[in-house]
Chains A and B, each alone.
Chain A
Amino acid sequence: MQEEEILGKAYDARLMRRLIKYLKPYRWHVALGIVLSLLVSAMEAVRPTFTKIAVDTNIAQNDKQGLLRTAALFLAVMVVRGFIQYANAYLTQWIGQRTIFDLRMEVFQHLQRLSLKFYDQNPIGRLITRLTNDVEVLNEMFSSGIVMVFSDVFTIIGIFYFMFTMNWKLALVTLSVLPFLFYGTFLFRKKARETYRDVRIQIARINTFMQEHITGMLVDQIFNREKKSYTKFTTINAAHRDANIRSIFYYAVFYPGVDLIGAVAVGLIIWYAGHNALEGVVTVGTVMAFIQFNEMFWRPIRDLSEKYNILQTAMASSERLFQLLDDKTTLNIRQNPEPLEHVRGDIEFRNVWFSYNPPSDGAQSPEWVLKNISFSIQQGQTVAIVGHTGAGKTTIINLLSRFYDIQQGEILIDGINIQHVNPHDLRKHIAVVLQDVFLFSGDIQNNIHLGDETISQDRIKAAARMVGANRFIEALPNGYNAEVKERGATLSVGQKQLLSFARALAFNPRILVLDEATSSVDTETELLIQQAIKKMLVGRTSIVIAHRLSTIQSADKIIVLHKGEIREMGNHQELLALNGIYRKLYELQYKDQETKTPRQS
């Protein structure tokens, strides 16, 4: 309903100026569109003149040849006008489509630049609405909106011109009904807008109710509330119906009303002609031409008020779009970042403090997720991070890839502060395997190389072989070209994991970040996964959020994270001997795996 509130503001100069900028690359097209509109309008306006010539000149003088000439010329003008009108309609669509294509790409690129913090704060659904619907709404404004407004205005001017040159007094008489039309249209617009808004609010209520009661159908049924909910729904539904019926009333008055005003104009033309015919001021042809003019100028006037609606929705959408484009939640990227061509793989965290929501004024102390974290990893080593839920394990790996910027301390790779490096250069050396494997729709191959063309077919296959994913891939109908559905729906959890391992290996990183999945897989797959992990860890610096006993046992160092702090550090045996947090964690999470390897969830 909130979005409904924005409706009503029809014109905002600031937004409009910004929108018009998007037309700049196509300014010559827009100019051509305006010229074509002008031509169409002129030819439209000239039409009744032909009737007048036919009646007053040709027919009145019994000139059959002249009549044929007039008819032929009339026809020619109509056909040419048809072609120009067609060209113009297409051109305006072309301008609109081009413009929104540019705008859509700009929004997309902007979304790619925003940091993950932005994604934490904004639901994906809303962002997609911006990219799709909001951009789409502007199409109408850019295409039919701007050029058509010119066209309508020209048409009206053209009609007025011909009317006044033909007979200015009769023109004034005919146009005397215009104030009534304007006032009527104004009133109708106002009422229609009110009822439209009412209808929108009611439809939103229906949708909310439906959504809620379909989702909560279980509660309705279990609490025997069907009848009551139904009654309540009928009330909301009736309010929607009645709002619509109110709006029907205004339409039912307006359209016949316009026709009536038109009839009054015809009556006036005849009456005036009758009064003045004797003075020879008005001819029969003039009367006929005027009756045609009268029919003609209703359309553009009605269209113009239609444009008002387009403008209104466009303003609301562009407001939301510009808000998104103005969002500056990005990382602090240096002007001249240090290069990071080759990496050995030494990692150091030095007194790192981090909060997802640092208070902007710095007054109150933030909710620290990580507190004073310091550790170092030598190249080629494997470090396992363990800890209870919410200890801050995932945050550590998010920081290493610089998905977020830290508030205090330093993170160094080969002694270089990662804040001084372009994040793209940094991430090229780190392969991240997340707990929830994310697969894209496409094929298997694509999910391994992710569109990086420097990764050869052989490397893809080698990576798959190394992690043992080749067996299931080759068993698929099209092997490496087998289709992958959205989110990898057709693959099992284990297969998805192996695929994500292959992906990480194909990129052959110096640093591997692995967040082990906790979901259970069958015995055979579990063994495959354990072997794959062992192979992946060889020869590269690795940080693993470990859920497997086999992984922690083979780690060079184990970091025990508890409530955002490093509480214990050492290898498996040393830590067990401490008889502290690690011991408890071990008994809670890992000990079972000793007896029933591979473990069950």
Chain B
Amino acid sequence: MRPLLRLKPYLLRYKKKLLLGLLTVIGSNVFTIVQPMFLGKAVDELKRGIEMHTFVSSDLLMWAGLIVGFALIAGVFTFLTRQTIIVVSRHIEYDLRNDFLSHLQKLSYSYFQNMPTGDLMAHATNDISAVRNVVGPGIMYPSDTIVTLTFVLFMMFMSDWQLTLLALIPMPLVSFAVYKLSKFVNKIFTARQEQFSLLTTRAQETLSGVRVVRAYVRETYEEERFRKLSYEYLKKNLVLAKVQSIMWPLMFVLVGFSLVITIYFGGLKVIDGQMTIGTLTAFTAYLGMLIWPMIAFGWVANLLQQGAASMGRLAAIMDSEPEIKDTETTDHSIENIHGTIEFRNVSFTHKNAAQPTLKNINLKIESGMTVAVVGYTGTGKSTLVNLIPRLYDITGGELFIDGIDIRKIPLEVLRSNIGFVPQETFLFSETIAENIRYGVDNNLEEDLNMAAEISQIAKEVMEFPKQYETMIGERGITLSGGQKQRSSIARAIMRNPKILILDDALSAVDTYTEERILHRLHEFMKDRTSIIISHRISTVKDADLIVVLQNGEIGERGTHDELVAINGIYADLHRKQLLEQQLEEM
């Protein structure tokens, strides 16, 4: 239950409403609980009337009216209970979910690489709603139960304590049975869920491995395997059904016992003149009122347990510390950067990795320069540029921007001066304009047009029916790989950055368009720093400096002509691309 303590600040935020809710619980109970008393009076009145042969109609009408009137008032209170406590639970759910997202936003890049999106989503939906159940039904039912119990037992004891004790004998059994059964059900349920995920995994494997299954003619075998698991699942379900099916019949039998006891012993008392028939009627009505609280007791206990488990899981995420953030050493007087970058003996090792991804990187990039990074797959090119906006922090050496240790620059200042085009293009399901303006507050038409012009996307956008207001993604149009990359470049340019980083961001753009983009960028980035990663020689050949990475180190560096002359890796890449070009043309 401990994790639930974390809910305290959330609950305190709505304490007035919750308090009001608790008061309405008492209100609705008071007005419900007196109703059987009126009923009892009415029955007695009726009996007397029949025996005395006197006209009783007006008295009875009064009791009937009281019952309806009180039911109405009780109803208003019940309405208010739901409108306060359950509504508060929705507010807390809202707060929790906001806080969850806000915390995720602070976590660093590496966190998301190790945490499947699906898991985070499951936390945001299932766990948060399990916690909400604690706040809503978890508060409403127990308070209702306690109040009902107190009042009903009081009324019953007042009218006849002996009969009360007798009638109540089976009641604790109801609570106990519900608690035990639901606990047991939860256990079986977990086992059933595990079997279900086995079944899902099996299906997943068979369907993903469909080529192997077909090639080796293993269809029948796979079918048998699936049938076995499916049958296991069926059996687990039937065990669950066996236990779950006991619940209601058992309830009815236990409650039935109470009713029989009441009627028999109460009946004896009536015969002996120790009790009126009206009291007996009221008594049975009270008994009916106890059934639900007894069931709720056991049920809520489980609800709380589940909520606590979910809160624990959420806490694990919300307690994780962001790895990259501003610290005491951050110099908040820095408000701008110029764009000189210097790697001094930089190395970087991924968490839990045995080998460093980058080592001995020494590289000085003056503001205004265009630097290209090339190399085979997996040599650390992306990691190198990811260090600049501090997606990762270096693990060795020093990294300076404008001669200042990068960790001293406020994260927000650093990043807002960088235009980054990641390798995997990611656009949001919004309009094209919203995507291009993503990193800026500026709504100027000219700036948007200019960014789109430079990245060579403008012409195509103007051909869409809704132009810049065209939606992208599921609810809109699907852009081609090249269009996505160019939009992503426009988004980076739009920020008017001091440092522009293109991480293999032209791979899906044809060479003709590429050349035009590079040409326009050259002009635009005249006084600023550009870093371009590419596999294509055509993209990098005009750079001021080309750096060739090899196994995490800088293997070669120089201009295009210098590197071709060395006849090393770069020259090899160059030669192969010429060959590929020739092949394409054959």
Contacts and interface: CB of A to CB of B under 8 A. Distances in A.
Given A89-B248, A562-B586, A270 B64 contact: yes
Contact of B46 (A51, A219, A287): A287
Contacts of B81: 252
A288 B216 CA distance: 74
B78 A256 contact: yes
Contacts of B560: none
Given A217-B105, A434-B211, A588-B583, A248 B87 contact: yes
A125 B51 CA distance: 75
A486 interface: yes
Interface stretch (A274-282, A353-361, A523-531): A274-282
Interface stretch (A13-21, A164-172, A258-266, A307-315): A258-266
Nearest to B435: A219
B117 A215 contact: yes
A59 B271 contact: yes
A403 B231 contact: no
A116 B246 CA distance: 47
A335 interface: no
A375 interface: no
Nearest to A241: B94
Given A219-B426, A221-B105, A256 B74 contact: yes
B391 A218 contact: yes
Contacts of A287: 43, 46
A430 interface: yes
A278 B249 contact: no
B420 A222 contact: yes
A207 B495 contact: no
Q: Report whether over half of chain B's contact residues are helix, strand or loop; otherwise say mixed.
A: helix
A101 B78 contact: no
A368 interface: no
Interface in B93-147: 93-94, 97-98, 101-102, 104-107, 109, 112, 117, 120-121, 124-125
Nearest to B418: A222
Given A225-B438, A234-B98, A266 B104 contact: no
A452 B214 contact: no
A432 B215 contact: yes
Interface stretch (A343-351, A407-415, A550-558, A578-586): A578-586
A273 B61 CA distance: 10
Interface in B228-277: 230-231, 234, 237-238, 241-242, 244-246, 248-250, 252-253, 256-257, 259-260, 263-264, 267-268, 270-271, 277
Given A248-B83, A580-B586, A256 B216 contact: no
B412 to A, nearest CB: 6
A432 B583 contact: no
Contacts of A119: 207, 210
B357 to A, nearest CB: 17
Contacts of A277: 46, 49-50, 56
B389 interface: yes
A267 B65 contact: yes
25 contacts: A50-B263, A51-B284, A55-B277, A82-B252, A89-B248, A105-B223, A210-B120, A211-B121, A213-B428, A224-B412, A230-B101, A241-B93, A252-B83, A253-B79, A263-B67, A264-B68, A274-B56, A277-B49, A283-B50, A284-B43, A288-B284, A403-B211, A427-B215, A452-B221, A585-B583
Interface of B: 35, 39, 42-43, 45-47, 49-50, 53, 55-57, 59-61, 63-65, 67-68, 70-72, 74-76, 78-79, 81-83, 86-87, 90-91, 93-94, 97-98, 101-102, 104-107, 109, 112, 117, 120-121, 124-125, 196, 199-201, 203-205, 207-219, 221-227, 230-231, 234, 237-238, 241-242, 244-246, 248-250, 252-253, 256-257, 259-260, 263-264, 267-268, 270-271, 277, 280-281, 284-285, 288, 376-377, 389, 391, 412, 415-416, 418, 420, 422, 426, 428-429, 438-439, 474, 491, 495, 575-576, 579-580, 582-583, 586
Counting from the closest, the 8 A-B pairs by CB-CB distance are A263-B71, A274-B60, A256-B75, A223-B439, A93-B241, A89-B245, A252-B82, A78-B256
